[in-house]
Chain A
Amino acid sequence: MGNSNSKDESSLEDFGIEYASAIESTSLVNIKDKYGLFIDGNFVDSSSGKSFKTLNPSTEKPLSVVTEASSDDVDRAVRSASVSYEKYWKKMPGADRARYLFRIARHLQERAREFAVLETLDGGKPIKESRDVDLPLAAAHFFYHAGWADKLEYAFPQRKLEPHGVIGQIIPWNFPLLMAAWKLAPALACGNTVVLKPAETTPLTALLLAEVIRDVDLPPGVVNIVTGAGETGSAIVEHPEVNKLAFTGSTEVGKLIQRSAVKRNLPLTLELGGKAPHIIFEDAALDQAVEGVINGIFFNQGHVCCAGSRLLVQESIADYFIDRLQKRIELLRVGNPLDKNTDIGAINSLAQLERIDQLVKAGIDEGAEVFKPSCSLPENGYWYPPTVLTGVQQSHRVAREEIFGPVLVVQTFRTAEEALEKANNTPYGLSAGIWTEKGSLIHWMAERLRAGVIWANTFNKFDPTSPFGGYKESGFGREGGMQGLAAYLKNSGGNS
C-alpha cells in the first residue's frame, strides 16, 4: 500500500491564510422599522414629523428610519432633563446614582454581543473591534464611574460639589456607543441630567442604550437621547437651559460650538481632531512597532481622532521599517465587517469616503508616493484600502490635515530633536506614540511632546481610569479618570 501521501490530495484545499468566511450571526439583533426620540423615558415622535434613514455602510442598504429632532423636540428634551434634575437626580444620594450606573454596566455586558453586532451593522467597523474593544470599554466606563458617584468628595476634597444641572452632549460616529458611555457615565455619576445627540450616521446603538436605560428604571428624563444632524446639534448648543456642553467631533464644528458657548460663559469641554505623530527610533522593538503603527492607523478604519496618522521613522531604519510595514499591510483583510477575521471594515459614510479620497489625491498631487496593498474591495458599500503615503513633506496637506481614514503618511528624521520638532509642528495635540527601548529617551520625548495622551511602546490603548483629551486645537477637558470628573462639577478646575 506504500505511502499514505500518495493519496490524491489535490481534492483537499491547502491551508492558507485566506481563511474561509466566519460571519457573525445577526439573529440577536432586532432592528425596528422606525425609532422615535427618547425623551422623558419614552420613545416619542418628532413634532415636525421629519425622519432620516440610517444605512449599513458595508452594503449601502437602509437599516432603519430614525426620527429627526426639531428644535421643539430638543426643547422638550431639555425641559425633561431640567425637571428630572430638580425632581429626582439632584436629590438622589450618590450611592443610589451609583446603583443605576452599575445596572447599566451590567446590562451592557449581558447584551454585549447584540450591541456589538448592531454597532458593526450601523457603523461598518469590524465585529472583532466592536466585540473586543467598544463593548467591553463601554461597560467598563459605566462600572468605573458608578463607583465615583458616592465618592466625589475624595476626588475634590475641600470643595463644594455641585453638578451643573442639564448637560448637552454631542458625540461622533466613530465609536457611537463608546462615546455615549464616555459622555453619560461621568455626567450621571456627578449628578447631572443629560440630553445626548448621537451622530446621524450611527444612531442605533445609542437608541438601544436608551432601551437599556429604560429597562434599568432610570428616572425618566435623566437621560434623553435625540437623533438628528447639525441642526439638532445646534438646537442643543443654543438652548438657554443647557448648563454645560460636551462635544466630541471635528475641530471645525468644535470651534463653532466654542464660539457660541464662550460668549455666554457656558462651561464646555471639547474632544476634537488630531494628527498624531507616531515616532519610531532605530533601537525600537521593531516587530511590535510595526504592529503598533498598524493598530495606530488602521484601527477602526482610521476613523479615530487619536490615530497615529503621521509616521516619523528614524532615517537609519526607514527603508527596512517601511518595507516591513507594507508587507504587514498586505496581510490586512478588508471586507465584510461581520466576518470575524476582518481587520478593516467599511468607511462610515459616502461623505467620509469622498473626503479621504480627495485628501489622498491632494497628497499625490503634492508629490507623495502612494502604496496600497493588492487586496480587492467589495463592490457595494464604502471602502478604502489601507494606504501609505511616503515622500511626504511637513508642508503637505496630508501631513497637516486630519484625514480620518486608513491613510498613513510617512516622514523620516535623524535626531530626537528633529523628531520632536516635526511631531509638535501641528495645531493639534491629542496623542503621540514613541517606540524605543531606551527608557530615558521615552521620558525625554514624553515630557516634550505637546499632546494629551502619549503611548510609549504601545498605541491606541484606552481605559476608563486613564484621562483622555487634547492639547491645543485638539480640545480641552479630559474624559476618564479622576481628572475627567472635573468637567461635570461646577468650578472644579480645568477649563470650565
Chain B
Amino acid sequence: MTGKIPIAKTYKLFIDGAFPRSESGRTFSVNNPEGELIANVSQASRKDFREAVRAARAAQLSWASRTAYNRGQILYRVAEMLESRKTEFVELLKSIGANSRSATREVEDSIQRWVWYAGWSDKYSQILGSVNPVSGPYFNFTVPEPTGVVGIIAPTEPSMLGLISRLVPAIVSGNTVVVVSEGESSLASVTIGEVLATSDVPAGVVNILTGDQTDLLPWMVGHLDVNAVDISGISHETDLTLIEEAASNVKRVISRQVNEESLELISDFLEMKTVWHPIGR
C-alpha cells in the first residue's frame, strides 16, 4: 500500500523569498538524539551569505518605509500562521530531543514573543524618540530609525524561541536580516523561513542560512554592507578575535542574553536621528 513511506522535507536556505540549495552543493546532517538522521540540511557558503546580504539590502528601504502599522499587521499575521502550524513546530522540537511539555511551552512562548514584538511596531518610536527643548527658536526632535542590514548568529538553544527572540526585534523597526543557524536548530530556523515565505513579509526582509556559524562569522562581521551584527548566539568557545573585523565599517555589535524579551533589543538595532528646524514666520 502506497503512502506509508513518509516524504522527508528537504531543508534548504531561505534567500530573497526563495529556497535555494547552497551554491557549494554541500549539506550537513541533523540527527535525532538517538543518532538517526532527520535531515540533510544545506550548508551555506560565504557566497550564499553574500547573496543573502544583497537580498537584505535590496529589501531594506521599502520594508522600512512601510508604515509602522503595516509592519505590525504583517508581523501579527506571521504569529497567526505560527499558531496554525503549532503542532508541526512541537513535533519538530520533539524530534530533536525536547519532551512534549517543553516543546509545547517553547512554541507557545515563541508565538507570544512574536506577538509581543509585532505590537511594538508603532510604539517604540514614542518611547525611544523625543522632542527636545533646545535653547533657541528651533523645533528639535529625535526619532529612531532602523540601522539597516543586520547579521544574526542565531542561538542554538532554545532553537525556535532563541531565533525569534533575536529576529523579530530587528525586523519590527524596518531592518532586514541575514540569520545564520547551526546544527539541529537549523530545522526550526528553516521551518520559520517556510512560514515567512507564505506570509506577507516581503522577500529579502528575512534571509535564513544554515551552516557553520564559526565559518560564516568572519564573513558576516567583515561584510561592509552589513550595518550591525547580533552575536548573542555564538558559542562560548568562539574566538572573539574573529569579530575584530566588525571595525572595518564600524559595525554595531550586539551581544546579549539570548532569551530576553525587552524594548532594549529593539533599540539595539536602531539609530537615533535628530532633526532641527527653525521656528519663525
Q: Which residues of A contact B (CB under 8 A)?
A: 140, 159, 251, 254-256, 258-259, 262-265, 270, 272, 427, 442, 446, 451-458, 461, 463, 465-469, 471-476, 478, 481-483, 486, 491-496
Contact between B132 and A465, CB atoms less than 8 A apart: yes
Bound Cα distance from A486 to B263, whole angstroms: 13
Q: B243, B252, B267, B276 — which one has the most chain A CB atoms within 10 A of its CB?
A: B276
Contact between B142 and A446, CB atoms less than 8 A apart: no
Interface stretch (choices B133-141, B157-165, B184-192) = B133-141
Contact between B249 and A472, CB atoms less than 8 A apart: yes
Q: B128, B249, B256, B264 — which one has the most chain A CB atoms within 10 A of its CB?
A: B264
Q: From known contacts A262-B244, A456-B277, A458-B278, infer whether A478 and B272 are also in contact, taking CB-CB under 8 Å.
A: yes
Q: Which of B231-277 touch A at CB < 8 Å?
A: 240-241, 243-244, 246-250, 252-256, 263-264, 267-268, 270-277
Contact between A495 and B135, CB atoms less than 8 A apart: no
Bound Cα distance from A251 to B254, whole angstroms: 20
Bound Cα distance from A467 to B140, whole angstroms: 10
Q: B135, B243, B270 — which one has the most chain A CB atoms within 10 A of its CB?
A: B135
Contact between A463 and B140, CB atoms less than 8 A apart: yes
Q: From known contacts A258-B246, A262-B253, A492-B264, infer whether A453 and B135 are also in contact, taking CB-CB under 8 Å.
A: no
Bound Cα distance from A466 to B138, whole angstroms: 11
Nearest chain B CB to A239 CB, angstrom units:
18
Contact between A272 and B250, CB atoms less than 8 A apart: yes
Contact between B140 and A496, CB atoms less than 8 A apart: no
Contact between B142 and A442, CB atoms less than 8 A apart: no
20 contacts between A and B (CB under 8 A): A140-B135, A258-B250, A262-B243, A263-B244, A453-B274, A461-B276, A463-B134, A463-B135, A463-B136, A463-B140, A466-B274, A476-B250, A481-B130, A481-B274, A491-B264, A493-B128, A493-B263, A494-B268, A494-B270, A496-B253
Instruction: Choose one: B130, B136, B250, B277; the contact of A472 (CB below 8 Å).
Output: B250
Q: Which A residue sits closest to B264, measured CB to CB?
A: A493
Q: From known contacts A263-B243, A473-B249, A476-B252, infer whether A454 and B268 are also in contact, taking CB-CB under 8 Å.
A: no
Bound Cα distance from A436 to B69, whole angstroms: 30
Q: From known contacts A452-B272, A454-B274, infer whether A259 and B227 are also in contact, taking CB-CB under 8 Å.
A: no
Closest 4 CB pairs of A and B: A493-B267, A258-B247, A463-B134, A493-B264
Q: Which residues of B contact A (CB under 8 A)?
A: 128, 130, 132-136, 138, 140, 142, 147, 227, 240-241, 243-244, 246-250, 252-256, 263-264, 267-268, 270-278
Bound Cα distance from A427 to B224, whole angstroms: 9
Contact between B252 and A442, CB atoms less than 8 A apart: no
Q: From known contacts A254-B250, A258-B246, A463-B140, infer whether A264 and B240 are also in contact, taking CB-CB under 8 Å.
A: yes
Q: Hey, which chain B residues are within 8 Å of A270, CB to CB?
A: 250
Bound Cα distance from A466 to B203, whole angstroms: 37
Instruction: Choose one: B132, B248, B253; the contact of A466 (CB below 8 Å).
Output: B132
Contact between B272 and A469, CB atoms less than 8 A apart: yes
Contact between A465 and B227, CB atoms less than 8 A apart: no
Nearest chain A CB to B275 CB, angstrom units:
4
Contact between A255 and B247, CB atoms less than 8 A apart: yes
Q: Which A residue sits closest to B240, measured CB to CB?
A: A263
Bound Cα distance from A468 to B271, whole angstroms: 11
Nearest chain B CB to A306 CB, angstrom units:
11
Q: Hey, which chain A residues are within 8 Å of B253, CB to CB?
A: 262, 495-496
Q: Which B residue sits closest to A491, measured CB to CB?
A: B264
Nearest chain A CB to B225 CB, angstrom units:
11
Q: B135, B254, B271 — which one has the most chain A CB atoms within 10 A of its CB?
A: B271
Q: Which A residue sits closest to B267, measured CB to CB?
A: A493
Q: Hey, which chain A residues are within 8 Å of B268, CB to CB?
A: 493-495
Nearest chain B CB to A459 CB, angstrom units:
9
Q: Which A residue sits closest to B129, measured CB to CB?
A: A483
Contact between A483 and B240, CB atoms less than 8 A apart: no
Bound Cα distance from A483 to B132, whole angstroms: 11
Bound Cα distance from A454 to B247, whole angstroms: 25
Nearest chain B CB to A450 CB, angstrom units:
8
Instruction: Choose one: B227, B248, B277; the contact of A442 (CB below 8 Å).
Output: B277
Q: Which B residue sits closest to A454, measured CB to CB?
A: B275
Q: Which A residue sits closest to B143, measured CB to CB?
A: A447
Contact between B134 and A466, CB atoms less than 8 A apart: yes
Bound Cα distance from A491 to B232, whole angstroms: 14
Bound Cα distance from A381 to B238, whole angstroms: 52
Nearest chain B CB to A80 CB, angstrom units:
29
Q: B136, B244, B274, B278 — which one has the most chain A CB atoms within 10 A of its CB?
A: B274
Q: Can you add 12 more A-B contacts, CB < 8 Å, to A262-B246, A463-B134, A476-B250?
A: A265-B240, A454-B273, A461-B138, A463-B136, A468-B274, A472-B227, A473-B249, A476-B252, A476-B271, A483-B128, A491-B256, A493-B128
Bound Cα distance from A473 to B136, whole angstroms: 30
Q: From known contacts A442-B277, A454-B273, A456-B276, infer whether A461 and B134 are also in contact, taking CB-CB under 8 Å.
A: yes
Instruction: Choose one: A456, A465, A493, A494; the contact of B275 (CB below 8 Å).
Output: A456
Contact between B276 and A458, CB atoms less than 8 A apart: yes
Bound Cα distance from A456 to B243, whole angstroms: 37
Q: Which B residue sits closest to A442, measured CB to CB?
A: B277
Q: Hey, which chain A residues are within 8 Å of B272, CB to CB?
A: 452, 467, 469, 478, 483, 494
Q: Hey, which chain B residues are within 8 Å of A255, CB to CB?
A: 247-248, 250
Nearest chain B CB to A26 CB, angstrom units:
29
Bound Cα distance from A458 to B277, whole angstroms: 7
Contact between B276 and A455, CB atoms less than 8 A apart: yes
Bound Cα distance from A476 to B229, whole angstroms: 13
Q: Hey, which chain A residues are within 8 Å of B243, CB to CB?
A: 262-263
Q: Hey, which chain A residues are within 8 Å of B128, CB to CB?
A: 483, 493
Instruction: Choose one: B140, B244, B273; the contact of A452 (CB below 8 Å).
Output: B273
